[in-house]
Amino acid sequence: MSKKILSVVLSVVLLAVLPLSLASCGEANPNQVTLNVFNWGEYISNGEDGSLDVIAEFEKQTGIKVNYTTFETNEALYNKMKTGGVSYDVIIPSDYMIGKMIQEDMLEKLDFSNIPNYELIDDRFKSSEVAPYDPEGAYSVPYTWGRVGLIYNTKYVTEPVNSWNILWDETYKNQILMFDNSRDAFGIAQFLLGQSVNTEDTAELEQAAALLQQQSVVSPVYAMDQILEKMPSEDAYIAPYYVGDCLTMCDENEDLTFTVPQEGTNLFLDAMCIPKGTKHKKEAEQFINFMCSTEVAYANIEYIAYSSPQVEAAAQHKEYLVQEYGDEIAQAIYPEDLSNTQMFLTLSEEANQTMTDLWVKVKTAN
């Protein structure tokens, strides 16, 4: 009997230790520093099609080894960090998640004397007006940014498009795609209603949900990644999406174009941060600095096709866009004026629950 208990205990212990032993395999050479970098999938220039292999270049220049892994959502990143196991040295979360991590004391303050290239980051993204998630600008270095726009097919939509209203237009019944996540979908309704996208007022959220419910007249199809396929294949005529991805879709189908509606839109930004508990803070800052150099920032933005906050890379990228796509598109990707945008901030748990519940109701009714 006691033997049995012993073997149960042993098995459980073995199971628990397994991930640890796997994680420690990486650091064979004690003198070589290994940086654990955790980024979004397909979010760095990787040497494909003659582009710069950023990670390999960094390893070559500095002799620091990079263990590069990717995540799919901010929530997945957050959960990984909370449950522990592996410690990361550089992470690239989005605006609202950085705000949440700062609140929960999960990030290290950066030593900007180790990041001289921080000078090259556009001052607009250092102001607390545009980037309220990190008001002191002490924890994060912007990596990419972008806005939400409307992509549409000019073959079927001939009228000028400049308002989110078109997503409610019965003329395009059955041909409209809508964001399949509550925050982005509510955002659109809130811009139309002139609300703050960060409101926690139940009455305002209900008002936005009611507007979303009215979309039933056009029988919208809810989708996220599938938009990337459905728009170029002309399975739908109009969809909201992130402008960087809109540009990619326009490459696939010449009839597609996009705009950023007049009511305002969501500005999102992903930034590099160093989590608490890192053993290689200096090397991590070195990595962040490397990512901010003009050559690397340009290679990355060319690959990702969002907007760069690094001024020199942005200028280069904008010039390329003007040549390739014309002034209007270049303006949409690199607008001079960001006053008509709002950034998502972390909502309280109660407001989040209210929004999720309302969202389920909207979707099950439509």
- Running DSSP on this structure, what letter comes out for residue 139? S
Give the shortest CB-293-to-another protein separation in angstroms.
35
Chosen residue from 51, 61, 73, 128 binding another protein by CB under 8 A: 73
Give the shortest CB-3-to-another protein separation in angstroms.
9
Contact flag: residue 356 with another protein (CB under 8 A): yes
Q: How far apart are CA 301 and CA 121, in angstroms?
A: 14
Q: How far apart are CA 308 and CA 234, in angstroms?
A: 30
What tokens were used for 267?
Answer: 């500005």
Rg (CA), the chain: 23
Contact flag: residue 204 with another protein (CB under 8 A): no
Q: CA–CA distance from 122 to each of 125, 129, 150, 278 (Å)? A: 6, 14, 26, 27
- Running DSSP on this structure, what letter comes out for residue 272? E
Q: How far apart are CA 336 and CA 315, in angstroms?
A: 12
Question: Closest CB to another protein among 83 and 113?
Answer: 83
The count of residues interacting with another protein (CB under 8 A) is 34
Question: Closest CB to another protein among 258 and 359?
Answer: 359
Residues 222-251 within binding reach of another protein (CB under 8 A) = 222-223, 226, 229-230, 233-235
Contact flag: residue 94 with another protein (CB under 8 A): no
Binding pattern for the stretch 170-189 against another protein, x by CB under 8 A and - elsewhere: ----x---x-xxxx------
Chosen residue from 4, 25, 158, 339 binding another protein by CB under 8 A: 4
Q: How far apart are CA 246 and CA 260, in angstroms?
A: 11
Residues 6 or more apart whose CB falls under 8 angstroms from that of 77 comprise 38, 71, 91, 93, 97
Backbone φ and ψ of 253, nearest 5°: -140, 115
Q: How far apart are CA 291 and CA 118, in angstroms?
A: 10
Q: Which residues pair with 240 in a beta bridge?
A: 150
Candidate ranges 107-115, 156-164, 331-339, 358-366; the one touching another protein (CB under 8 A) = 358-366
Candidate ranges 59-67, 218-226, 250-258, 268-276; the one touching another protein (CB under 8 A) = 218-226
**Are the CB atoms for 292 and 115 separated by under 8 Å?**
yes
Question: Closest CB to another protein among 50 and 84?
Answer: 84
Contact flag: residue 11 with another protein (CB under 8 A): yes
Contact flag: residue 77 with another protein (CB under 8 A): no
Question: Closest CB to another protein among 78 and 125?
Answer: 78
- Residue whose C-alpha is closest to residue 310's, from 291, 326, 283: 291
Give the shortest CB-364-to-another protein separation in angstroms.
5
Chosen residue from 75, 251, 252, 328 binding another protein by CB under 8 A: 75
Applying CB under 8 A, the residues found at the interface with another protein are 4, 7-8, 11-12, 15, 73, 75, 174, 178, 180-183, 221-223, 226, 229-230, 233-235, 347, 349, 352-353, 355-357, 359-360, 363-364
